[in-house]
Structures are given as C-alpha cells and as structure tokens.
Amino acid sequence: MDALKKELEEELKLSTEDLRSHAWYHGQLQREAAEQLLGRDGEFLVRDSSTSAGDYVLTCMWKNQPMHFKIIRITLRPKQGYTRELFQFENDQFDNIPALIRFHVGGRRPISHSTGAVIFQPITRTLPLRIISERQAARSSSAHLMRSQSKRRSLSSSQKDTLQVNTNNLLRSGSQPANLETVGRPFLQSAQSDSNLRTGVPQSCQSQDSDPAPVSPVFRTGSEPVLSPAASCATPAGQSALGVSPLCGSDGQLHSRAPPKPLRISIIFSPTQTDPESDPADVYGELVPQVPITMLPKGHAARLRAQEQKWKSRARLTDTSFGFLEAQRVEEERVEEERRSGSELQQEERDWCFERPQTETSSCFRLDEFRSLLLPDNNRPLDQSVLPKVKELLTQTDARTTALHMLSVNCQVARVTGVTAEQKRIMGVETGLELVTLPHGGQLRQDLLERHHALALGIAVDLLGCTGTVGQRATVLHRIIQLAQELRNTTHDLYGFSAVMKALEMPQVVRLEMTWRALRRNHTDSAVTFEKSLKPFMKALNEGDDSVVSGPLSLPHLLPLLRLMEGEDAVETTDRGCLLLYNLLQSARNATLHARDCTLHAHSLLSAGWEPVPELLEVFQTEFALRLFWGQTGAKAERKERFAKFDRILELLSYKLEADGESAV
C-alpha cells in the first residue's frame, strides 16, 4: 500500500496542466464503475472515453441521475507545423481540461443549458491510474468471456432447431411455381442475393400496431408468382441454414417489391460501423457548442460559415454517424473554398481593421478628482481625526467582509472587473492581467506596484498605530492574520494576500517581540497558521511555484512579475536566477491564459449577495491611502521620496511601542 500511495503522490505532483495531476481524473474507469462512485448532486469525475480513444468524458450526478458528457475537442488549423487544441462543453473554450473544469466548478456554470447540470464536488481517486487501468482491463476481459460463453450456448440451441427442417430438397428449374405453404420446406438460396431465408417454419404475422418486419434481401426474379400471402410474414434475414435449394431461371421469391437501387456513394464513404459488442446504453448528454459573438470571425460570410460549422460539429460530437456524408461535405467545402473570389476576400478585410493600442502615460489614480467621505479638505499626513474612524471601521467588520471590500477595489485597479469597451480599445486586450505582460502596460504596472505598497503600509499603520496594551496589539495582529487567511482561502485574491504578508514581514513589525509572544500565548492557532502555512505559501508564490495554488483565482500573485518587468527585481544576483526567472515567466503566462477565468470568478464572488459599505470601500482606495499617509500636497511628490520618509515614520512608531531591550512581563 505504501508503494501505491507513493505512486499516487507522484502523479498528483505533476504540472497542473497535466490531467494526471488532478485527483478527479480517474483514467480508464468504465461507465458503470463511474456511476457507482456518484452519490449526490454536484459530484463529478473525468474519465477516458471507452468508445473514442483519446477523448474524455465528464461523469456527474444531477437531479439524482448520473449524466455523461463527452468533452468537445477542437483542433485548430495547423500553421507551420504547430497544432493547437481547445476543449469545451458548450460556450467557453480552454487550452486544457483542468482549466475547463476549474471554470465550471469555480463559477458554478452549467455544463449544458438543456440539463442545467452543475458540478462542484470532485470525486477523488485513491489509486494510481495504472492500477485503475489494470482492474478495468481485468473486468472487461471477464465480461467478454461471459458474453462469448453465452453466445456459444445460444448457437447450440439454434442449430438444434435447424436440424428439424425437412431435408426433402427438390431441384427446381424453369418457371415451376413454389408452394410456400408447405410445412417443413427447406431454406431457399438465391444466386442473385446470396442470402438465406428460412421459410419452412411457419410464423405468425405481426399485428398492425407492431413494427413491420424487415424487408427480406431475397427478391423476386423471373415470372414466378407469389402463391401465398403468408410470404409477407417472412422471417428476417440473417438466420443460418443447413439445407439449401438453389433457384434457377425465373424462379419466384417471397416479395413482389423490386430490388432496391444500389447506393451511388463510393464505398470509401461508408458510414461508421458500430461495434456490436459496445454497450448500446453508452451514450452521452447532448452538448450544443455555441460561438461567442466576440470570437466570431470578421466579415459576414465568415460568421455564417462559423455558425454552419457549429451545427455540423453538433451532429459529429453527439455520436451521430454521418460518415459518408461528412467526407463528401468536406471535399465540397474544400472546392468551394478554392473558388472563392478575390472580391469576397477583400470585402472581409474591409470589415475588420486593426487598431493600434495606446500607451498610457498618466496614472489611473486621480487625486484631483477624488472626493472623500472621511478625509477633510487639505488634510495633513496621518490626520488624527481620521485614524480612529478607520480603526473603528476595520474592528467592527469581520475578516471575510473586509477581504471582499479589498478584492472589489483590487479588481477595479487591476482591470479584472468593470473594464469598459473604451478601456479595452485603448489596451488592445480584454483585462489588465494581459496588459501587464505587454510593453505598453508600463503605467499599469507602476500603478499596481504603488497600490501594493500602499496596502502594506496601511496594514502596518493599523498595527503600529495601536497605542494600547501588548494584548490589544496581539488582537490586532490576530485580526490581520485572519484577513490574510480570508484573502487566500475565500476571495482567492493573492495580490491582496501578498500585500498583507508584506506588512507582517516588515522589519518594523517583525521586531515587536512582545507582541508576537502575546500572539502565541493568546491566539495560538493564528500564530501557528502564520508560521506553518502562510509564510511557506508566500515563499512558494515568490518563487513562481504555482503548484501550491488550488482552485480558481480572482487575482493571481502579480508582484514578482511587476517588479521583474519594471527592473526592480534583479533575479540574476541569486544562485537560482535562471530557474527563478523561468518560473516567474511561466507563472505570468498561466495568469494570462486564465485571465477570463479570474474575471468570471471575481464577478461571481462580488455578486453573490454582497453589500458593500461605501466608507470601507473608500478606506481601500489608493487615493485615500495617498492622502492619508502624505497629506493632500505630499501625495503628489515623487514615489521613492514618499516611501523613504514614511519608512522612517514607521520606525519611530515601532520603537515607540517597544524599545530595544524590552521583554514581556
């Protein structure tokens, strides 16, 4: 068992983009076994498709019914040897299946509009994928053996019935009529159809309400009349016979219908045959892929082709077999594409034009336009009439609500939510998470660095400005650690989380030994959480290790990328500089790829019955922090100068609370 556990742990340690690293992926688990693992609505797992190699199936429980959805795989047109694949259910497309699952779990988005199925509780595997595959293979071979034995028993019974047929075979020729009412007549064989039809055993005609019998593949030839109306109740073809009576010349047959015309479709376009041993119940829930308006190709003709492709893919992806028609249709489309005139191409190019993004040169923080509910006009730095109001607001609000207020402002500044069409046009991208990785995103990077440090200073002032007892300061420290936990675990705001952790690791805060001792004594759980969980998590984020992050994010950890892009972090000075640089860039790439996921997740958190408090929202605005810390005139000074002066103020506050050499009583 230890070896299996170790093998499972090695699989789960793989890259998050690797499907095997996720415990909800069960490999070659069969349909019946997957359904047995589901117990309540919302539970789900992902497994390999048993009927289509290389495809994957989502198995979930909804309305007390197991459902199976085949994940749609879209292969984009290869360009210069590079092929890209996208995965989707109906609407949104993703580069890999883990991102697709995170999107639907985090945002509680339905898998299909027709069923409304929602997934949120994964069923985790407890065995390595190798063991699951071996067990499923053993069960499949056992079931195949039982089916083979059953078929042999059925064949023996049918052969016994066949032996009872009258063997009085007569060779007929010319136009001799056939008396079909003779009981015990042997099987007939037609040289034209090369098919056997058993007519010796009388069979009752089906009622008019029942389905009609299938048409026999043996057809009338010559001028032989149909002597008995009982021929319309003939047994379906496909039954084997021992004795045969060859028909020659113009022998008659059982049906007066003319033989069907041969197919005009080439045999290479024959429809896909269904595996006779496959489970007929192995069908999937129907998914109707939608084409988002923003992703439609430019030009009216291209949009029409995209909509047509949607319905074609619907038939193909719901296991409907149109093999020969599809092949012919693809060939026709290729010819049609080659015949497109140059005028149509020019018209499509005129419908769409590239607009060069603009480079912003001014900050998004508008001090001149800022109107405060708490700050008076022309306020001084650290106005003593405002600080008590701010501390009271933070004290009376629970950590979860505070984290949501911080997330709301962070998402607006980072341009994750509330991005207008004009901002998108200027940026050239959809969100700020993409803009910060581009050359013309320098101003946004500077603004995010400014805000990050302002948040850290605000947390430090909240603690260092507490002039009460050591126990009161420990309570404030406990509340700050709770805020960090909510930012990480509830709102998934790693940008705000890193700002709080930066404040807790400032030298002016770390040196407060009496306060930290009181925290360990009065709030032991918070102290242990900070040392054993939050600090290692923060260290991994700073090194670009995304494996510590689980679940969807509303804001990723942007600080290392911002400092790297602005030249404030010299990674080459460390021994692991090259590896660290690679990890940070890879982390930034992942954040960009999942920018839409972040937007949707943040929107779902901020719209789930949350009522913002205007005063508390203002406390977390960057303009408020600039004016509170440096006054209305000092807030416009150069950033480095402002930060240097405020660091000295924090040192004075820290030494005022605990001078060197003091110890707890």
pLDDT tens across 494-520, in order?
Answer: 999 999 999 999 999 999 999 999 999
Final residue in a domain of this structure, among 134, 149, 176: 134
Give the span between the Cα atoms of 646 and 119, in whole angstroms: 49
User: Is residue 485 included in any domain, yes or no?
Assistant: yes
Greatest mean pLDDT among 264-273, 408-417, 562-571, 578-587 lies in 408-417
Average pLDDT (294-320) is 47
Give the span between the Cα atoms of 22 and 566, in whole angstroms: 35
Q: Where would I find the H helices in 111-186? A: 129-162
User: Is residue 201 included in any domain, yes or no?
Assistant: no
Tokens of 30: 């069969």
Q: What is the pLDDT of residue 544?
A: 87
pLDDT at 191 > cutoff 50: no
Q: Using alpha carbons only, how large is the chain's radius of gyration in Å?
A: 37
Nearest residue to 273 via CA among 208, 321, 227, 240: 321
Please provide residue 73's backbone torsions phi and psi, each rounded to the nearest 5 degrees: -110, 125
Average pLDDT (409-416) is 95
Please provide residue 479's backbone torsions phi and psi, each rounded to the nearest 5 degrees: -65, -35
User: Is residue 239 included in any domain, yes or no?
Assistant: no
Long-range (24+ apart) CB contacts under 8 A made by 424-427 are 425/355, 426/357, 426/358, 426/360, 427/357
pLDDT tens across 335-390, in order?
Answer: 566 555 555 555 555 555 667 888 888 889 988 888 899 999 888 999 898 999 99
Q: What is the pLDDT of residue 350?
A: 56
Helix/strand/coil percent split, the chain, to 5: 50, 5, 45
User: Is residue 174 included in any domain, yes or no?
Assistant: no
Give the span between the Cα atoms of 605 and 108, in whole angstroms: 11
Cβ(296)–Cβ(303) below 8 Å: yes
Q: What is the pLDDT of residue 142?
A: 66
User: Is residue 288 included in any domain, yes or no?
Assistant: no
Residue 450 belongs to domain with CATH number: 1.10.840.10
Q: Assign 576 a pLDDT band (cuts: 50, 70, 90).
A: confident
Q: Assign 478 a pLDDT band (cuts: 50, 70, 90).
A: very high
Final residue in a domain of this structure, among 118, 134, 150: 134
Task: Provide the residue count of the chain.
Answer: 665
Average pLDDT (12-37) is 89
**pTM exceeding the 0.75 threshold for the entire prediction:** no
Cβ(136)–Cβ(34) below 8 Å: no
Give the span between the Cα atoms of 453 and 460, in whole angstroms: 11
Q: What is the pLDDT of residue 499?
A: 97
Average pLDDT (210-232) is 41
User: Is residue 177 included in any domain, yes or no?
Assistant: no
Average pLDDT (158-186) is 43
Final residue in a domain of this structure, among 134, 150, 169: 134
Strands (E), 180-284: 187-189, 196-197, 244-246
As to burial, measured by CB atoms within 10 angstroms (0-12 exposed, 13-18 middle, 19+ buried), residue 118 is middle
Domain that holds residue 644: 387-657
User: Is residue 335 included in any domain, yes or no?
Assistant: no
Portion of the chain with pLDDT greater than 90, in percent: 37
User: Is residue 23 included in any domain, yes or no?
Assistant: yes
- Give me the number of domains the chain comprises: 2
Give 574's DSSP letter: S
Q: Is 184 left (phi over 0), alpha (psi -120 to 50) or beta?
A: left
Average pLDDT (610-624) is 91
Tally helices (H) and strands (E) across the chain.
24, 10
Q: How far is CA 638 from CA 461, 492, 559, 659, in A?
A: 21, 32, 21, 31
Interhelix angle 442-464/470-489, rounded to 10 degrees, is 150
Residue 104 belongs to domain with CATH number: 3.30.505.10
